[in-house]
Amino acid sequence: MIKVLKDFLTHKEISILNEWTDQNHDQNFFQDAEMDIYYPKTRFTTRIVNTNEESISAVVEYPEEAYQIQKRIQQYFNLNNILYPPTFRNGIVNGIGFQNGSICKHSDPMYYENTITVHCNFITQKPVAGGVTIIEDHEYDIEEGDMLMYAVSELNHEVTPIVGTKPRILWCYGFCLNLEKAKEIFK
């Protein structure tokens, strides 16, 4: 249940998304992802990490291009009547990882009965080295602008430590798909 689509994003979209992350990653709606026990505070995300009122109520205004990309994903896979993961803001999460930051091995929850949680991940800025996604012990070192789509509720995944001072920027689009649609996409 893994799919890679090359060059899904344009260079202009990548530039706009990275600029937005650079300008906003110190805002209160970016929180420590709390997924690296050895190097805390090396990865920040717009995902709702905890349920305190400030975290839930924070308003995130992503750039218009982020929503255009989301619409393009939905059209490409013919996604209708979509459920988003409840920890995502409008179905989108932006993350930035700094030197030594990694993500421990895990799988995500199935948020709604009879669905599979799927992420469409885009690395819009690769670090000098590291920051590679590993799914079920297989490395996926995608290029900036490629889409890595996989069933995060079904597969163990992690990210290797980031090397160097250039941050890793990730944009993630989450969907909770019914089993039939997931089988159709990943056939």
Work out the pLDDT band at 35, boundaries 50, 70, 90: confident
* Owning domain of residue 75: 2-185
Give the count of domains, the chain: 1
User: Per-residue pLDDT for 163 more than 90?
Assistant: yes
**pLDDT at residue 49, rounded to an integer:** 66
Amino acid letter for position 65: E
**pLDDT at residue 54, rounded to an integer:** 56
> How many whole angstroms separate alpha carbon 169 and alpha carbon 84?
21
Closest C-alpha among 105, 127, 143, 125 to residue 21: 125
Work out the pLDDT band at 52, boundaries 50, 70, 90: low
CATH of the domain at 64: 2.60.120.620
**pLDDT at residue 69, rounded to an integer:** 98
pTM over 0.85? The answer is yes
User: Per-residue pLDDT for 105 more than 90?
Assistant: yes
